[in-house]
Amino acid sequence: MNNSPHSPDLQDCLSPLQVKSIPITDLQTVDTLWRTASNGRFGYTVQREMWQQAGKRWARFFANIDWVVGENNVSGHDVVA
């Protein structure tokens, strides 16, 4: 097992099916707590707004959040969701 907090084992990640089963009220609670604790800088609704402002393009979204190094550099691989 990898003990690095930056490289979780796949076993430690939620699958898309598991994510879909999380109650909306729980996600809203996490979003509210996240936005409150970060003074509106982070949270699901903040990410959604940034995603929409980026035209739903991964490369633009990643550049906007300054997440374009290593494996996250999707330059040239921009897909529309």
Is the distance from CB of 32 to CB of 45 less than 8 angstroms? no
- Straight-line distance from the first to the last Cα atom of the chain, in angstroms, rounded to the nearest whole number: 33
Q: Where are the domains of the chain?
A: 11-72
pLDDT tens track, the chain, 81 positions: 455 555 556 667 888 899 899 999 999 999 999 999 999 999 999 999 999 999 999 889 988 888 877 665 655 555 445
- Compute the distance between CA of residue 22 and CA of residue 28 in angstroms, rounded to an integer: 10
